[in-house]
């Protein structure tokens, strides 16, 4: 029943078009507004087979804007970077070279205010 309610909530929330449509989630005793589509990713990853390395989602401030960094499920895959409206901006790292798609060469140096939004803690 709990999973059904969560699924109904996620489906009804849809992918947000602006941060004002974000929903608050409590993680590590802090409340953080998370866009609906990021919550959809969390639900999707929770339903998939556990990955190694463990999937994680972080939020950062990057050039004055909130972005969401989603780790790849495994080796040589790009890590994804979304804006606060859930638009895929690109891939700051990962891939065969580890340098991503080249669109964010300064991401690791410029990002600030790291917050772990979600981590797959299944055993």
Predicted confidence band of residue 31 (pLDDT cuts 50, 70, 90): low
Q: Quote the pLDDT of residue 75.
A: 86
Q: What is the mean pLDDT of the chain?
A: 81
C-alpha to C-alpha distance for 18 and 27, rounded to whole angstroms: 21
The two tokens of residue 100 are 């991503």
Domain boundaries, the chain: 2-119
More confident position, 8 or 88: 88
Phi, then psi, of 12 in degrees rounded to 5: -70, -25
Closest listed residue to residue 25, CA positions, set 11, 10, 12, 14: 10
Q: Quote the pLDDT of residue 33.
A: 82
Predicted confidence band of residue 109 (pLDDT cuts 50, 70, 90): very high
Cα 28 to Cα 62, 114, 118: the distances in Å are 22, 13, 10
Quote the crossing angle between the two packed helices 36-47 and 2-13, to the nearest 10°. 140
- Does the pLDDT of residue 42 top 60, yes or no? yes
């Amino acid at each position: 029943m709990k999973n059904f309610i969560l699924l109904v909530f996620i489906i009804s929330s849809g992918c947000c078009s602006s941060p004002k449509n974000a929903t608050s989630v409590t993680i590590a005793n802090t409340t953080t507004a998370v866009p609906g589509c990021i919550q959809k990713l969390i639900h999707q990853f929770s339903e998939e087979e556990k990955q190694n390395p463990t999937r994680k989602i972080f939020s950062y401030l990057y050039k004055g804007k909130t972005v969401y960094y989603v780790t790849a499920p495994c080796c040589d895959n790009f890590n994804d970077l979304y804006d606060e409206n859930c638009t895929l901006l690109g891939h700051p790292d990962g891939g065969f070279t580890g340098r991503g798609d080249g669109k964010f060469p300064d991401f690791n140096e410029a990002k600030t205010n790291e917050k772990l939004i979600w981590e797959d803690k299944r055993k």
